[in-house]
Structure formats: C-alpha cells, structure tokens
C-alpha cells in the first residue's frame, strides 16, 4: 500500500498541515462562538470554528502556502495515496477499500485533489490516524 518514502511524505504533509491549522486557529482565537453559530450543540464538538473554511483569508499565509506547494510538488501517485489515507483517517473508507479508493481518487482532477487536501481542516489528524490504521504509524528504526 504505502512505501517508506510515501509514509515519510505523509508525515511531512501532516506536520505542514498542523502548522497551517495553527495559523487558522490563531485567526479565529478571539472570535466569540456566538458570532460563529446561533446555538451551541448539546453534545459533541463545541469547536464550531473547526468547520469554517477560510481558504480566501488563509491562501496567502506562509504556512498554508508551504502546505499547498508541498502537496503540489509531490508526484500525482503520492497525492492520490495521501487522499486515500485521509479518507481512511476520517473513517470514510476501510483499509479493505484501498483499491477502489485509489481508483476514485485517480479520477479526481489534479486541482481538485490538491484543493481537497489543502482545504481539509483536520488534515494533520486524518493523515496521522490513517497512517495508524494502515499500520504505518512508525517505521523500522523509529524511536518509540
């Protein structure tokens, strides 16, 4: 499924995605929840800002630019695998769906693939979780 270099690239993209998420969170840090949503949910996620897309505002931020450039610079095959790992991490796909998911991701246009990855607010979390699900959370020789 994933080769060592692809695992390393997924980790690198996850780290860049975390930095981009931190920029996004800093922008929303002082916005009251009441300005973002009418009522608070009774249960579950209370970070209503987590679902907000700030692509226009964030597009020029250095960390977001670095994330986009890093994804664009990857070979298409690795971009496709990143998308599939993200979907596994989200819980949208099972590992057993790998081949079908690869076909579905391969059908996406290059721009859509990159945009889907960059726009994913929790890309870091989903990549790390997907890697864990695939048994690729650590590599031989990694410190535990």
| CA gap 112, 114 in Å, rounded | 5
What pLDDT score does 33 carry? 57
Calculate what percentage of the chain has a pLDDT beyond 90. 63
Average pLDDT, the chain: 83
Q: Taking a C-beta distance cutoff of 8 angstroms, is the pair 53, 15 a contact? A: no
Q: Confidence class of residue 25 from pLDDT cuts 50, 70 and 90?
A: confident
- How confident is the model over 39-62, as pLDDT tens digits? 555 555 544 444 445 456 677 889
Q: What angle do CA 142, 6, 13 make, to 5 degrees?
A: 85
User: In this structure, are residues 60 and 30 in contact, taking their beta carbons and an 8 Å threshold?
Assistant: no
CA dist., res. 131 & res. 84, Å (int): 10
pLDDT at 144: 44
- Tens of pLDDT, residue by residue over 122-144, are 999 999 999 999 998 765 555 54
């Amino acid at each position: 499924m994933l080769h060592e270099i692809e695992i390393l690239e997924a980790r690198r993209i996850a780290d860049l995605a975390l930095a981009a998420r931190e920029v996004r969170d800093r922008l929303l840090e002082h916005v009251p929840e009441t300005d973002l949503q009418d009522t608070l949910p009774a249960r579950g996620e209370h970070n209503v800002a987590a679902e907000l897309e700030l692509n226009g505002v964030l597009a020029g931020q250095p960390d977001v630019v670095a994330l986009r450039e890093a994804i664009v610079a990857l070979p298409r095959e690795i971009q496709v695998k990143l998308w599939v790992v993200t979907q596994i991490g989200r819980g949208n796909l099972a590992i057993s769906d790998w081949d079908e998911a690869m076909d579905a991701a391969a059908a996406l246009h290059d721009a859509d693939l990159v945009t889907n990855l960059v726009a994913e607010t929790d890309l870091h979390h989903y990549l790390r979780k997907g890697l864990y699900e695939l048994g690729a959370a650590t590599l031989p020789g990694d410190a535990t």
